[in-house]
Amino acid sequence: MCGIAGWVDWSRDLSDQQPILKKMTDAITHRGPDAEGFWTSKRAAFGHRRLIVIDPEGGLQPMVYKDGDYTITLTYNGEIYNYQELRKELEEKGHVFRTKSDTEVLLHAYLEWQEDCIEHFNGIFAFGIWDERRSQLMLGRDHLGVKPLFFAQRGSAILFGSELKVLLSHPLVETEIDSEGLAEVFSLGPIRTPGHGVFKDIKEVRAGHYITFTPNKVNVKRYWTLESKEHLDDVNTTVETIRSILEDTVKRQLIADVSVVSMLSGGLDSSGLTALAAKEFAKNGKTLHTYSIDFVNNERDFEQDFLRRDLDEPWVKRVAEHIGTHHHTIVFGADKLVENLLVPMRARDLPGIGELETSLYLLFKEMKKDATVALSGESADEVFSGYPWFHQEQFLNADVFPWLVNMSFMLDILSEDLKAKIQPEQYQKQRFQEAVSEVPFLDGESSLQAKQRQMSYMFITRFLPFMLDRKDRASMMTGFEVRVPFCDYRLVEYLWNVPFELKSIDNIEKGILRRAFQHVLPDDVRNRRKSAYPSTKDAAYLQGISNWMLEVLNDSNSPILPLIDADRVRAIAEGKDEVISGTKARGLLDYLLQINSWLQEYHIHIRL
């Protein structure tokens, strides 16, 4: 994994612009702590920060192909999991390779198929290719959007990079936000609109898309989409297909020239992947190392809620012992979580979900001490329709995103002036209707089936990108790569058309996945009900962020003050609000603290 940066300008000579390019790549040193590289020409300047995972000697970037008087240059972040098959195919077509890297395979795939090369890749990737002979820049992103890619047009210039901070480091880009950007932050919260960069005139290449830029034209192409069709496989065939894809993708995603470990929560998703990975390790006489997170006094403080049924740790031990992994439990206290609250915001360059991101960052920071790559069970709930929202009428029939249904209290603390300018309820409904208009409904489905398909689309195309961003920024902030086997596009395509009643066979969420893991997990683990990523229940955490919020409210220079109902927020921080308290208060205060620091640290200019 790496960090990329680029600058193309058809009206300016960029040959001597490496100092600015270096400033852009320095902003993402954390993504690639092992090496840096630069390439400049008259019209294009590419930079790269490298985290060495495959072919330490041969995978240097930017990678350049020369043919006579022209060059084709690549800067790339990610992994192409089918690169070995592609390399063989390209060699049969006459291509000659100098390295063992997937980077060179991607470059030669472009030489062979040009833009269509992206349809040959199975992986997680974001890349920029400058084709000098065509005077064209191509930006491409993987099917599910696992790897990030932002861009901005400024006059004749195109700027791009792995993170927003790459663009914000360029003198042509100002830290401006308009009413639409504020609506993204305050109406939608951290789960924002795909393609929207929040900052004024900064955009994101959407998952499953590529964009080409030439002097006179910008062409946006969607190369991958979910296609609806009748699912004809019987139960056993469906189970075997899921099992086969997962076994194949886990095997592919274990390929690395550095140590690989696995995350393990004791839940179905991570346990199943860990079991498959451990089997591969055992073939080579190796023991897989696994990692989980826990909190100080968690057994004492734990409370059931909508998404969390029980403690993870007993199940983690059960799975680790059954599979035979070398397990590590990483434990944090409330003080550490409060102290590091702003790190994920700085990693994302936007406010996020607070403690749930902070603990993930701290976990990855510890895992990085032992390894460079990890497997994660992320995205199984989105792909297999595992969340409670999928079968409850109030969510299925809502006219906003399901995760916003019980979050209206977030809008209650906005100032009347801000509400008038961003119209938050209207903005939520507008973005929801845009998403609904994209859904490829299937003729002949019942009303309930159509609603469930719609729900699935919302989670795969709106909620999942947020979860993947969270994982990418939290891991890459520590120079750590996390791979997500459940995001293999072949699996997502297949599951998209499996009816909800089949996905939830045996009257349990993700029942079909439980059957697929029957050969590697004990029954009690397979039948454990869904319990979400853990959250601390320590009262000291809420007290810590409440005190911090009161300091913000008492500082007349705090930039968030004109945007909120300060009296209402003060009551919440003091524990005197009858509606917003406990878990609600914690999530809200987490978010507001991040917004205030974001506005302050990034020197954001609000243009309404």
Q: Which of 2, 173, 316, 334 is catalytic?
A: 2
Q: Is 117 a catalytic residue?
A: no
Distance separating alpha carbons of residues 224 and 557, to the nearest angstrom: 47
Listed in sequence order, the residues at least 6 apart from 79 whose beta carbon sits closer than 8 Å to its beta carbon are 1, 53, 54, 102, 123, 124, 125, 253, 481, 483
293 is in an annotated binding site: yes
Which residue is associated with the tokens 């699935």? 456
Where does residue 371 rank: exposed (0-12), middle (13-18), buried (19+ CB within 10 A)? middle
Distances (CA, A) of 174 to 154, 166, 185, 199, 454: 11, 12, 18, 9, 37
**Amino acid present at 461:** T
**Amino acid present at 186:** F
Listed in sequence order, the residues at least 6 apart from 432 whose beta carbon sits closer than 8 Å to its beta carbon are 399, 400, 401
Q: What H or E segment, with its residue span, contains residue 9?
A: strand 2-9
Distance separating alpha carbons of residues 495 and 490, to the nearest angstrom: 9
Instruction: Say if CB 425 and CB 576 are below 8 A apart.
Output: no
Distance separating alpha carbons of residues 461 and 465, to the nearest angstrom: 7
Distance separating alpha carbons of residues 37 and 277, to the nearest angstrom: 33
Distance separating alpha carbons of residues 188 and 540, to the nearest angstrom: 28
Which residue is associated with the tokens 């077509």? 93
Q: How far apart are the first and last CA of the chain?
A: 38
Scanning 5-132, the segments in alpha helix (DSSP H) are 18-26, 83-92, 102-113
* Pairing of β 136-141 and β 209-214: antiparallel
Select from 175, 82, 63 the least CA-distant residue to 127.
63
376 is in an annotated binding site: yes
Select from 143, 142, 161 the least CA-distant residue to 151.
161
Q: Which residues are annotated as a binding site?
A: 102, 293, 376-377
Q: Which residues are annotated as a binding site for ATP?
A: 293, 376-377
The set of catalytic residues is: 2
Q: Which residues are annotated as a binding site for L-glutamine?
A: 102
